[in-house]
Structure 1
Amino acid sequence: MTKVAVVLCAACFALPAAWAEEAHFIFHSGSTTPGAIRVGDDFAYAPDKGYGFEPAGAVVDSAAHCARPASPTADPIIVPDHSARFSVALPEGSYRVTLTFAKAPKGAITAEAGRFILLPSASKQKLTKTQSFIIDVRHAALPTLPLNAPGGIAVRLNPRECGSYSWDGKLTLGFASDAANIKTLDIVPVEVPRLFLMGDSTVTDQPQPPYAGWGQMLPLFFGNGIAIANHAESGETLKSFLSELRLDKVLSQAKTGDWALLQFSHNDEKSQWPQTHEPAGTTFPLYLKVYIAELRRHGVNPVLVTPMQRLRFDTAGKIIETHGAYPDAIRAVAASENVPLIDLTAMSRTLFEALGPEKARAAFAGNGADATHQSAYGAYELARAVVESMRRQKLPITEHLKPGLAAFDPATPDALIQP
Structure 2
Amino acid sequence: MTDLALGKAASADSSQSGRGPSLANDGDTATRWCAADGRTGHWWQVDLGSAATLSGTEVRWEFARTYRYHVSVSTDGTAWTRVADRTAGTTAAQVQSDAFTATARYVRITVTGLVASTWASITDFKVFGADTGTRQGPEPDPALRSRCTGTSPVTCHFDVQPGNYDVTVVLGDPASPGVTSVQAEARRTVLPAVSTVAGSYARYSFTLNVRQPEGQPTGQGGTGRPGLDLVFSGQTPKLNGIGLAQGSGPVLYLAGDSTVCDQPVAPYTGWGQRLPQYFKLGLSVANYGDSGESSGSFLSNAALFPAMKPLIRSGDMVLIQFGHNDKSTTASAFASNLTSLVTQVRSQGGTPVLVTPPVRRLFAADGTLTSTALHVNGVGANLPATMRQVAAAQNTSLIDLTAASEALVEGLGPNASAALYLTELNDNTHFSAHGANEMAKLVLQRMRELNLSPVPYLR
Call closer, same or farther: CA 1:133–1:389 in 2, change over 3 Å.
same
Q: TM-score with structure 2 length normalisation?
A: 0.62
Q: TM-score with structure 1 length normalisation?
A: 0.68
- The answer as to 2:439 corresponding to 1:331 is no
Q: Once structures 1 and 2 are overlaid, which stretch shifts more, 329-338 or 234-243?
A: 234-243
Query: C-alpha displacement at 1:248, in angstroms?
Result: 1.9
Preserved CA contact (<8 Å) 1:25 1:39: no
Distance in 2, matches of 1:156 and 1:39, equals 26
Distance in 1, matches of 2:203 and 2:363, equals 44
Preserved CA contact (<8 Å) 1:197 1:232: yes
Query: C-alpha displacement at 1:365, in angstroms?
Result: 1.5
In the comparison of the two structures, how many residue pairs are matched?
Answer: 307
Preserved CA contact (<8 Å) 1:311 1:368: no
- The answer as to 2:88 corresponding to 1:38 is no
Call closer, same or farther: CA 1:178–1:171 in 2, change over 3 Å.
farther
Match of 1:282 in 2: 332
Call closer, same or farther: CA 1:157–1:206 in 2, change over 3 Å.
closer
Preserved CA contact (<8 Å) 1:201 1:233: yes
- The answer as to 2:204 corresponding to 1:131 is yes
**1:372 alignment partner, SS class:** strand
Instruction: Decide which structure has the larger Cα Rg and report it.
Output: 2
Which ranges in structure 1 are unaligned for 5 or more consecutive residues?
1-21, 27-34, 43-52, 54-81, 142-154, 272-277, 403-419
Distance in 1, matches of 2:281 and 2:403, equals 30
Query: Paired residue for 2:370, among 315, 320, 323?
Result: 320
Match of 2:435 in 1: 378
Query: C-alpha displacement at 1:396, in angstroms?
Result: 2.8
Match of 2:223 in 1: 163
Residue deviations 1:388-417 (CA, integer Å, cap 9, x gap): 111112223212211xxxxxxxxxxxxxxx
Alignment of 1:327-406 (within 5 A): 327-367=384-424, 369-402=426-459
Q: Once structures 1 and 2 are overlaid, which stretch shifts more, 363-372 or 101-110?
A: 101-110
2:206 maps to a residue whose letter is F
Query: C-alpha displacement at 1:157, in angstroms?
Result: 5.2
Query: C-alpha displacement at 1:385, in angstroms?
Result: 0.5
Match of 2:64 in 1: none
2:146 maps to a residue whose letter is R
Match of 1:63 in 2: none
Call closer, same or farther: CA 1:400–1:128 in 2, change over 3 Å.
same
Query: C-alpha displacement at 1:131, in angstroms?
Result: 2.0
Preserved CA contact (<8 Å) 1:157 1:244: no
Match of 1:96 in 2: 166
Call closer, same or farther: CA 1:121–1:209 in 2, change over 3 Å.
farther
Residue deviations 1:298-320 (CA, integer Å, cap 9, x gap): 00000000011111112222122
Call closer, same or farther: CA 1:40–1:398 in 2, change over 3 Å.
closer
Which ranges in structure 2 are unaligned for 5 or more consecutive residues?
1-137, 377-381
Match of 1:64 in 2: none
Distance in 2, matches of 1:348 and 1:401, equals 22
Distance in 2, matches of 1:130 and 1:157, equals 32
Match of 1:261 in 2: 319
Distance in 2, matches of 1:268 and 1:359, equals 28
1:290 maps to a residue whose letter is S
Query: C-alpha displacement at 1:197, in angstroms?
Result: 0.3
Distance in 1, matches of 2:247 and 2:148, equals 28
Query: C-alpha displacement at 1:36, in angstroms?
Result: 5.3
Preserved CA contact (<8 Å) 1:95 1:189: yes
Distance in 2, matches of 1:387 and 1:169, equals 30
Q: Quote the sequence identity (%).
A: 34
Q: Which has the higher strand share?
A: 2
**2:344 alignment partner, SS class:** helix
Distance in 2, matches of 1:367 and 1:346, equals 25
Alignment of 1:20-419 (within 5 A): 25-26=141-142, 38-39=146-147, 41=149, 83-103=153-173, 106-120=179-193, 129-139=202-212, 158=218, 160-164=220-224, 168-177=225-234, 181-245=238-302, 246-269=304-327, 271=328, 278-279=329-330, 281-322=331-372, 323-324=375-376, 325-367=382-424, 369-402=426-459
Distance in 2, matches of 1:113 and 1:203, equals 13
Call closer, same or farther: CA 1:179–1:121 in 2, change over 3 Å.
closer
Query: C-alpha displacement at 1:38, in angstroms?
Result: 2.8
Query: C-alpha displacement at 1:108, in angstroms?
Result: 2.7
**2:179 alignment partner, SS class:** coil
**1:106 alignment partner, SS class:** strand
